[in-house]
Amino acid sequence: LMGAAGAGACLGGILQWRWPAGSIQRPLAAAAGLGLCLSALAATHDSTLAFVILVGFGVCSATVLCSASAAVQSFVPDSLRNAATALQVTIVLGINPLGSALTGWTLEHFGANRGSAALGLATLFAVAVLSLTSGGGRVAKCETAPNESPS
């Protein structure tokens, strides 16, 4: 079944290459899809349905990572693009051990079904909070570098 998530991630990467995102809306929608996939996976006991859900999970996972990166790169000035991308990669990779430990703890204490449902609901809650606090997902593109005056 994990191969289904990998196939979905490949598909999601191809879709992002074909239709790149330039706003925060797509990563938020894909993160909501991740939450829904986790919750749906918790509710199913059919391996065929789990396969389909995991393909969707892979697509959403790749979409979150790729489109968030594209959004960050489009919102920072050209002179800071490398630094912003490096910071984003450092944050994503740096938070993985914490997320893995939290996921493992949740699944150990609540079981696979209830733990997956709880993680899916937590993901949906985080997306809702981010959607409400991001001003509807609209972020102004930065046109000037620091210490430059707008023309």
Between residues 24 and 80, which one has the greater pLDDT?
A: 80
Read off the pLDDT of residues 62-100 as tens digits, 9 standing for 90 and up: 999 888 888 888 888 889 988 998 998 899 899 999 999
Could you write out the DSSP letters of every residue in the chain? -HHHHHHHHHHHHHHHHHS---SSHHHHHHHHHHHHHHHHHHH---HHHHHHHHHHHHHHHHHHHHHHHHHHHHHS-GGGHHHHHHHHHHHHHHHHHHHHHHHHHHHHHH-HHHHHHHHHHHHHHHHHHHHHHTTTT--PPP-S-TT----
pTM for the full model?
0.80
